[in-house]
Amino acid sequence: MNAKEFVDSLFEGYEQTEALADFKEELMTNLNAKVENFIRKGMDMEAAFAKASAELGDVSALADEMSLKKRKEVFEEVYMDITAYMPAKRVAGYVSFGIVALFGIIIAVIALFAARKTGLNEHINITAFFGAMMPFLTIAAAGFTWLGMTQETASMRPVSKKRGIWYAVAALLIAFGLFVMPVVYFGLKIKGNFNLGMIVPMLSVLIPFVLPGIGILAFLIFTEKDRLKPWAKNLHDKVVEGEMAIWSDPAKASRFGMFSGAIWLFAIGIFIVLGLLIGFKFSWPVFIFATAFQLFVQGRMYKS
């Protein structure tokens, strides 16, 4: 019996709704995670699955006489409340890609100062800086993306390793394109005859790298299943309900609109006055205070 068959047997006789299917998938993910954990501790596959399924069976016995809703609550509380941990291999992955990124930055700085000592055109120096950094930070971006997307957190389930690879490919393409753009830009300026027409080669980098990367990323995002764990999903639903309660009340929405308008009219006025008196480069922090005050007002409205 495999993990899917075992989990299906625990809910035999219940109506197979979409919510139950999602829950069973999450339960199966946790069962497989426990099996892998036991294998890392030295058990063979058969013994690890037997021990993990036995624990799950014990939980099932506690919930046999309960309704489906209560049964799910027991599973979530007793079995699925696993401690989030990061295996040594994953930690090593994060450290390795961090070293790669740091190595790229150091190499780029060395290349910059080495180019300056030659007394060459300043644009050559900058081109050397971005060119030396590009391969290392591009690889690091892809690596961190894969590790992050396939990492289980307290509130999120991981994506599959295959899907994580596609996220990494998207990150690699976008990062590579963004690094190539300044290389092309400053490379064209080396000759000193840069003009607006030469922007075309720089922007053309978007076509083979950045645009496909954005396309892959958009497809992955729009086809992504809900990865929130039950407690996080419940919290999210409560927040959405709170927001809907505020904006569905015309009186509250009207008061918030008037408060917001007053706050930003006052902030713009203060910005202009301070700009004329002490200079506009010193008056912009007023918008930070305006944003903070608006969030404070919104928070008060949630409580009321």
Ranges of H-type helices in 122-229: 122-149, 161-189, 199-204, 211-222
Sign of CA dihedral 272, 278, 283, 285: negative
Query: How far is residue 40 from each of residues 35, 56, 210, 214, measured CA to CA in Å?
Result: 9, 19, 40, 37
Q: What is the pLDDT of residue 49?
A: 82
- Tell me if 169 sits within 8 A of 209, measured CB to CB: no
* Confidence (pLDDT) at 215: 93
Determine contact, residues 61/70, Cβ cutoff 8 Å: no
Please report the pLDDT score of residue 82 as a whole number.
47
10-residue mean pLDDT profile of the chain (304 residues): values are 76 65 76 81 83 66 47 54 65 94 93 75 77 93 94 80 94 92 77 62 82 93 82 69 67 75 85 79 82 79 62
CB 171 within 8 A of CB 142: yes
Structure confidence at residue 70 (pLDDT): 54
Neighbouring residues of 253: CB distance < 8 A, sequence distance ≥ 6: 246, 247
In the block, tokens 């690890």 appear at: 48
